[in-house]
Amino acid sequence: HFAPLSRTVGKGYRRGITGLGFCARSPGVSTPFSYIWWETPGSTPHILCSGTPDPAIDRHYVGGLWMRSGEAVEPLLSEQWFVKQTELAKPTIEAVQAGAVKFHPERYEQIFVAWCENIRDWCISRQLWWGHRIPVWQCDACGERVVATSRPGRCPKCGGTALTQDPDVLDTWFSSGLWPLTTLGWPEETASLNHYYPTSVLATGHEILYLWVARMVMLGLEFRNDVPFRDVFIHGIVRDK
């Protein structure tokens, strides 16, 4: 989401940057990070600044600072795994509008649907030490990627036996989105799954309406062709100062 935001910020920049600006590893730059930008889409990129900030360069930095060192926290472009959302969002919207899931208070239905209608593809990979490991293995010999529930014995393309699992883990909300299913034994057709799914009521806070509630509805419809609950009660949240 950083790139579209940067484009919006760039349009209002007083130097008139109209292209897409972001932080990336740039070829030929001695330091690992640099700000680059385009005057117009498709034009030659220019290095705005690199390494130690130069006060002579007229620019604005929009971002955060690391609490320990005070260094700028800079987004870095890298390969990630995404789940296409439009195909999952459509049946979710239809189910809610048909009354399969009801929100209390009712006003949250409109908020929920509006988010689903404007949804973006979901980045599900995280560079963390904990979480469910992404079930993708890459062949060390030919680079072929294999998706499997357990480590493949050999590469289906070249027959190589040296395969390395992707080091990333799944987004917490991807794993949590499967909670109504996995707690009942899914993907196995267990007696508990057939008896208790779907359940009746979900009580939760509004701050995870998109992160969790929407994901559970999407994945429930995708894998069981039914919503995971009938009523969603949104309660208040106790906050500090």
Write down the pLDDT at residue 67.
82
Write down the pLDDT at residue 180.
96
Write down the pLDDT at residue 5.
52
Write down the pLDDT at residue 152.
94
Output the pTM of the full model. 0.71
Write down the pLDDT at residue 31.
42
Write down the pLDDT at residue 27.
43
Write down the pLDDT at residue 79.
87
Please, what is the Cα angle at 70 between 66 and 75, to 5 degrees? Answer: 45
Write down the pLDDT at residue 76.
72
Q: State the 10-residue block means of pLDDT for the chain, 241 residues long.
A: 49 45 43 47 52 49 71 76 96 97 97 96 92 95 94 94 95 95 96 96 95 97 97 91 71
Dihedral of CA atoms 151, 154, 155, 159 in degrees, nearest 10, equals 170
Write down the pLDDT at residue 206.
94
